[in-house]
Copies of this chain bind each other. A is one copy, B any other.
Amino acid sequence: MARAGLTTERVTVAGAEVADEVGLDQVTMSRVARRLGVKDASLYTHVRSLEDLRGRIALLAADEKTVRIAEATAGRAGRDALIAFAGAWRDYAHEHPGRYAATQAPIRIDPDLVAKAPGPRRAIELTYTMLRGYGLAEPDLTDAVRLLRSAFHGFVSLEAAGSFAHRRSPQQSWVRALDALHTLLEHWPPPGEGDSR
């Protein structure tokens, strides 16, 4: 009986593929094992548990998404960088819905694993870098980063859940939302009582 040549990496990728194809909640040990032509018990040599596998998928996704964003924003600044950043984010979520869902799922991930994975931290750094051109200073910078991340994540989540049922296409709303966020970053309001006009 020939060996299947499994490895933690291959199991994780197979799990990510299952997640993208049929949803994150369908990522089960037996299903991943079937895809790899192997019995489910065999996976436990490479992965501690189902929870562990899901965590690895989440980290894989975070890393991949970060790389995409880094490539897209390289050499860009200001408005161009914002659009490239957001576009890469949304494209990744569309292409890999299961992986993307894993990044948001309530999973306890092994801290050692997180420490090794550069994705999440680097994603934050990239956001700060992108905002450099807008001239924001702390703590406004952190607040702006959080708002942008919220808007991006919220948009693709609602989109994936089918919450944009209105006639207008999500794509159009997306473009206009980025317009609006760009404007907002250029006119970030000062602290204190928010005045009108």
List A residues at the B interface (Cβ < 8 Å). 23, 25, 78-79, 101, 104, 106, 139-140, 142-144, 146-147, 149-155, 157-158, 160-161, 163-164, 166, 168, 170, 172-173, 176-177, 179-184, 186-189, 191, 194, 196-197
Query: Is the pair B147, A180 in contact by a Cβ cutoff of 8 Å?
Result: yes
This chain's copy number in the assembly? 2
Query: Is the pair B179, A166 in contact by a Cβ cutoff of 8 Å?
Result: no
Residues of chain B contacted by A189 (CB below 8 angstroms): 179-180, 182-183
Min distance, Cβ A75 to any Cβ of chain B, angstroms? 19
Given A153-B154, A154-B154 in contact, is the A143-B161 Cβ separation under 8 Å?
no
Given A155-B154, A184-B184, A189-B183 in contact, is the A177-B106 Cβ separation under 8 Å?
no
Min distance, Cβ A33 to any Cβ of chain B, angstroms? 21
Bound-complex Cα distance A136 to B44 (A) = 57
Bound-complex Cα distance A142 to B157 (A) = 17
Query: Is the pair B158, A150 in contact by a Cβ cutoff of 8 Å?
Result: yes
Residue from A150, A151, A182, A191 with most neighbouring chain B CB atoms (10 Å): A150
Contact of A106 among B139, B142, B161, B184 (CB under 8 A): B161
Given A147-B180, A150-B152; 5 other pairs, CB 8 A cutoff: A25-B25, A143-B172, A146-B155, A150-B154, A180-B188
Contact of A150 among B143, B155, B172 (CB under 8 A): B155
